[in-house]
Every structure is written in C-alpha cells, then in structure tokens.
C-alpha cells in the first residue's frame, strides 16, 4: 500500500485544486472577455476569385494551330496540337476506333462535344479524298454489225485515266506557308502537308529545302518532285540559347534528343557555359552539330 505523509497529502490536494480552478477558469473566461472572431471573408473572397478565374480559363478554347488533315485518318496527337478540346478528341478517337468513317465533312458535326464554332474553324482544313471508282467501259457503237465470217467483234473500249497536272504552281517559302497552301504543290497531300508543318515546328524552321528529305515518309523521288517549288528563308528560323535552355527545351529538338540533352546539361554544369560550337563537340556528333548550328545561340 502507498502511504503519503501529511505534507504530501496537502500538496496533492493543492495541485488538484489548482487544476480544478484552471478548468473552471477556461470555461468562464470567454463569457467575461469577449474575443473577436477571425474574419475569413477576405480569404474566402480571394479563394472564390481564384476558382472563378480557373473555371474561366478551363472554358476558354485552346489556342488554334490548324493543319490540313483527313478526319478519317487523323490521330489524337494531331487533334490536340490543333487545339481541339480533350473531350472532343476522345470521342473522335472512339468513333474511328469502332470502325466509323466520315463520308463527308458534315459528319464531324455529330461528334459529341463538337460545337458549330469549332466546326467552322476546322471546315476548310479537313480533306476527305474522293473514293476511286473503277474505270467504266464506254461503248463506241450501239449497233454492232455482224461480219461476214459470222463472228461479232467487241468494240467496247476503256476510257483512259488522264491525270491532271497542276498548272501555274507558285513558289512557296517553307517557313511562312501553311498546310492549306502546301496542297497546291503537285505530289503533296494532306498527310505530307501535316508532317511538313509538324517537323518545321519541331526544328524551328527550315534553313534549307534539302531538310524536306528528313520529313517522315519522304522518299527521294518525292523530294525531287516537290523541292523545285520551295525556297527557305533562314532569317525566319527560331533559335534557342544553349547556355540557359532546360533539358526539355534542348531535348525536343530533332537534331539533339533527350540522351544528348542530358550530356549537354551535365557537361555545362561541370565545365561552364558554352562559348562556341567547338565546345559542344565532345557531347554531340559532328553530323548533328553541323545541322544544329543555325538553331543555337551562345549568349553568356
């Protein structure tokens, strides 16, 4: 059994009494000393303003970057790059994934989420190639006389297909033309027009017509056929500063890639900023560096 002395018992009683007084005081003080309630109205107003601004931004359509495309063969990346809302792209891909096809452009209006305003923007950039029909027979003579030998000669002929060449094709500057005008060039259809514009955006522009050889799917015979209609203005190139660009900005360039971008960043961190193209020689192959030089700046 625990036993306490008289002084210890007195101390315990006093301690319990103090605790009781503190508890009672904590309950009674608010009644005698009114405290101001914190005013959250300003904070709530700022939160509401932020939420309203966020919703407004979400409702605003993405920036529109049109390219010519076939609505039956387009991919989701192209649609997103154009600036089509996410829900419309998803519904578009679902329709094509189930085997759906648009016989005419107006069919795109039926995609869930497609608005009349958005369709009007896309209308002139959508191209559905005509269905190739078989060559029909053309009868030269309705009446077929019977020859003396008793046999009948088949006088039906096939109408030859005559490919129409585009006349008076104007020269186009690669860095300023759009995908719609690219269709005026013999040998360029919606697919190649879209690829040329996409590759131009990745590069930052063409400094040479010969760079068209690098466009995906461009064969040498195609290049020879179309290159005569183009010029390339080097003053329109978009350059970037190799000394301050991030790994994402450097790595997305077709002549670098993300592996080389990591080497560039690591080398820059160790050795300091680059002052000329010679400083990049240890981290980039000679061929890539030669093609890359027109696009980079060495601002310290």
Taking only the tens place, the pLDDT of each residue in 73-101 is: 888 878 888 889 988 988 898 888 888 88
Is 274's pLDDT higher than 90? Answer: yes
| % pLDDT > 70, the chain | 77
Is 155's pLDDT higher than 80? Answer: no
Quote the pLDDT of residue 133. Answer: 52
SS3 at position 187: coil
Which has more confidence, 50 or 104?
A: 104
Give the Cα separation of 187 and 226 in Å (integer). 6
Average pLDDT of 189-206?
Answer: 92
How many Cβ atoms sit within 10 Å of the Cβ of residue 113? 14
Q: What b-and-e string marks burial along 180-215, b requiring 16 or more CB atoms within 10 Å of the CB?
A: eebeebeebebbbbbbbbbbbeebbbbbebebbeeb
Eight-class DSSP state of 52 = H
Mean pLDDT of the chain: 81
Quote the pLDDT of residue 79. Answer: 87
Residue pair 247/265 in contact by the 8 Å Cβ criterion: yes
* pLDDT band, residue 202 (cuts 50/70/90): very high
Residue pair 190/127 in contact by the 8 Å Cβ criterion: yes
pTM above 0.75, yes or no: no
Quote the pLDDT of residue 26. Answer: 79
Token pair of 219 as six digits: 């064969």
Q: Where are the domains of the chain?
A: 57-127, 172-236, 240-297
Give the Cα separation of 242 and 253 in Å (integer). 12
Which has more confidence, 33 or 192?
A: 192
> For the chain, what's the residue count?
300
Quote the pLDDT of residue 37. Answer: 60
- Mention the CATH class of domain 172-236: mainly alpha
Q: Residue 173's beta-bridge partner residues?
A: 231
Give the Cα separation of 78 and 76 in Å (integer). 5
* CA-based nearest residue to 285, from 297, 293, 294, 275: 293
Average pLDDT of 257-273?
Answer: 92
Residue pair 232/262 in contact by the 8 Å Cβ criterion: no
Distances (CA, A) of 293 to 80, 202, 236, 280, 281: 31, 15, 15, 10, 11
Sort residue 272 into left (φ over 0), alpha (ψ -120 to 50) or beta: left
Residue pair 257/202 in contact by the 8 Å Cβ criterion: no
Quote the pLDDT of residue 35. Answer: 59
């Amino acid at each position: 059994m625990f036993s306490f002395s008289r002084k210890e018992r007195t101390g315990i009683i006093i301690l319990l009494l103090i605790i009781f007084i503190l508890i009672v005081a904590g309950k009674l003080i608010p009644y005698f000393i009114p405290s101001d309630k914190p005013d959250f109205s300003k904070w709530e107003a700022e939160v509401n303003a932020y939420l309203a601004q966020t919703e407004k931004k979400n409702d605003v359509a993405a920036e529109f970057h049109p390219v010519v495309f076939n609505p039956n063969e387009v991919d989701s990346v192209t649609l997103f790059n154009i600036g089509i809302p996410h829900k419309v792209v998803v519904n578009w891909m679902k329709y094509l994934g189930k085997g759906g096809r648009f016989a005419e452009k107006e069919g795109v209006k039926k995609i869930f989420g497609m608005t009349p305003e958005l369709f009007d923007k896309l209308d002139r950039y959508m191209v559905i190639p005509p269905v190739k029909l078989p060559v029909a027979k053309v009868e030269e003579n309705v009446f077929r006389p019977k020859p003396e030998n008793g046999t009948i000669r088949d006088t039906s002929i096939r109408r030859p297909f005559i490919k129409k060449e585009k006349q008076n094709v104007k020269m186009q500057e690669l860095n300023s033309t759009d995908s719609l005008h690219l269709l005026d060039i013999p040998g360029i259809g919606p697919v190649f027009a879209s690829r040329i514009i996409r590759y131009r955006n990745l590069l930052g522009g063409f400094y040479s017509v010969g760079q068209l050889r690098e466009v995906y799917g461009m064969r040498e015979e195609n290049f020879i056929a179309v290159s005569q209609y183009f010029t390339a203005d080097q003053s329109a190139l978009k350059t970037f500063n190799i000394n301050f660009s991030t790994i994402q900005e450097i790595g997305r360039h077709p002549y670098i890639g993300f592996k080389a971008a990591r080497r560039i960043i690591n080398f820059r961190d160790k050795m300091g900023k680059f002052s000329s193209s010679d400083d990049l020689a240890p981290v980039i192959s000679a061929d890539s560096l030669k093609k890359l030089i027109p696009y980079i700046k060495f601002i310290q």
